Amino acid sequence: MASRFVVGTQFGDEGKGKITDIFAKQADLVVRYQGGNNAGHTVVVGEKVYKFHLLPSGLIQGTRCCIGAGVVIDPRVLMEEINRLDDENPQLAIDPRTQIIMPWHNLLDGATEKMLGNKKIGTTGRGIGPCYEDRAARIGIRFVDLVDRERLKQKIAELYPLKKKILELVYGENVEFTEQEVLDEYAALGEKLKQYMGDVSQEVSKALADGKEVLFEGAQGFFLDNDFGTYPFVTSSHPMTGAVFTGVGIGLIKEYEAFGIVKAYTTRVGGGPFLTELNDDLGELIRQNGKEFGTTTGRPRRVGWLDLVILRTSARVNGLTDVAFTKIDVLNGIEKLKICTAYEMDGKELTEFPADWTLLEKCKPIYREFEGFEVDPETKNYNDLPQAARDYIEFAEKKVGVKFSIISTGPKRSQTIFRQ
Ligand code: GDP
Ligand code: IMO
Ligand code: MG
């Protein structure tokens, strides 16, 4: 059986949670491999809405879930999320190598943003960047340290005075928690979470060797990638298929489907370039219709037209085999729709995103106009969609060069069309 990758192709919030939940039913394992609780993945089952930040979205289906070494874990959030589950005995494994977000990481995230002033990234404030910084600096606290009070005590004794000094003397912040308070709270969390520790690298490798189906759930979106996104307006991990191997600790996979999740328009939360952004009433209408307010922070998402330049680059670098095209229903009732097919720069056409995005200042989006449509979210067969909707979908599909094998017409599981 093939394994599946689910990755965001734009700036996050494409509907990865919904698609992961659908695939999770038949998967043997669902695995997160990067990011942390900056993610907000929504799964709607009947009238119930689940929001996952750290736990893989496969847990609702009762599928066994893993959190790989490449993820950063805030144990307070993890504990809360586990407590909120309907399942009292979730099938969950957390790799001992995952890095732990400590309270000073949240403070440093906020302090760095404050220092940047109007150049701030617009982070989620969850301490993600500072935690990955400590991993790179080789001073981070890992899950294996969290679950052992003596090891944790030693680590905190080394780090607390250093972080306090940086926060107070460099950033002028107040650190209100004591070293003892941090130790007591985190050791208690470690004690409760210890039962989930397991070598995810080994477990997933074995599952793959046994021919099991593994579903890799990406967080964020490709254009938030630390190298390939719109740096510095990015996150601190690698939201791309390539990161699965380093984020879980497995070898290359021979048989797979790489699903890029594409929203039928574009959204972005936080700062950074956005060439097809709509700063007008139409943008506001799409924001309202699509309920485009952050799952994690509640911030209004910036909204704009679908951008094929972004999608071509995403498809190439992620090696996409398929696309799940989501939220087409949100465009219902808009008379004329636009898709950006390329950027014009100095009389030339760019069809892929430039390595140096500051060139976007010289670029103008080239648009193709489409007739509006009215999609019934309960449509079951692709051919029953209005012709104008199919024209919109098939144009994008042809230009991106990857089959759009799933069309999502609403947040519910049933509102999904599988194309043959
Ligand atoms: P993720 O971060 O990629 O998992 O996406 P989010 O959960 O942050 O945001 C996607 C939002 O759109 C959620 O509220 C979903 O319930 C919702 N959603 C997903 N697919 C569709 C769709 O096809 N139509 C509509 N109207 N909503 C959808
Ligand atoms: P999901 O998985 C949308 C954005 C933040 C900010 C930048 C850096 O739900 O798609 P960070 O806190 O990671 O240092 O913030 O990345 N960002 C997201 N935007 N969806 C997400 O996750 C995001 N995770 C981070 O808004 O611009
Ligand atoms: Mg989200």
**Whether residue 260 has its Cβ less than 6 Å from ligand 1:** no
At 344, phi and psi to the nearest 5?
-100, 125
- Supply the CATH classification number for the domain 99-195: 1.10.300.10
C-alpha of residue 70 to centroid of ligand 3, in Å = 19
pTM score: 0.98
Q: What is the mean pLDDT of residues 122-141?
A: 98
- The residue whose CA is least distant from atom 12 of ligand 1 is 15
Asked if residue 302 has pLDDT above 70, the reply is yes
* pLDDT given at position 333: 94
Amino acid at the residue 117: G
Confidence of residue 107 (pLDDT cuts 50, 70, 90): very high
Q: Where in the chain is the domain with CATH 3.90.170.10?
A: 260-420
Q: What is the model's pLDDT at position 86? A: 84
**Residues annotated as catalytic (active site), given as ranges:** 13, 41
Taking residues 201-215, what's their average pLDDT?
97
Strands 306-307 and 214-217: unpaired
Angle between helices 387-400 and 308-318 (to 10 degrees): 50
Q: What are the structure tokens assigned to 165, written together?
A: 């000094």
Q: How far apart are the first and last CA of the chain?
A: 18
pLDDT tens for residues 318-346?
Answer: 999 999 999 999 999 999 999 999 999 99
Tell me, what's the pLDDT at 2? 81
Q: 14: Cβ below 6 Å to ligand 1? A: yes
373 with 331: CB under 8 angstroms?
Answer: yes
| CATH number of the domain located at residue range(s) 260-420 in this protein | 3.90.170.10
Give distance in angstroms: CA of 18 to centre of ligand 1: 7
User: Rounded to the nearest whole angstrom, what is the distance from the C-alpha of residue 411 to the centroid of ligand 1?
Assistant: 6
Q: CATH 1.10.300.10 in the chain, residues?
A: 99-195
On average, the pLDDT of the chain sits at 97
365-410: pLDDT as tens digits:
999 999 999 999 999 999 999 999 999 999 999 999 999 999 999 9
Decide: 48 and 10 in contact? Cβ < 8 Å. Answer: no
Classify strands 266-268 and 302-304 as parallel, antiparallel or unpaired.
Answer: antiparallel
pLDDT at 1 over 80: no
| pLDDT band at residue 357 using 50, 70 and 90 as cut-offs | very high
Which atom from ligand 2 is nearest to the alpha carbon of 267? 3
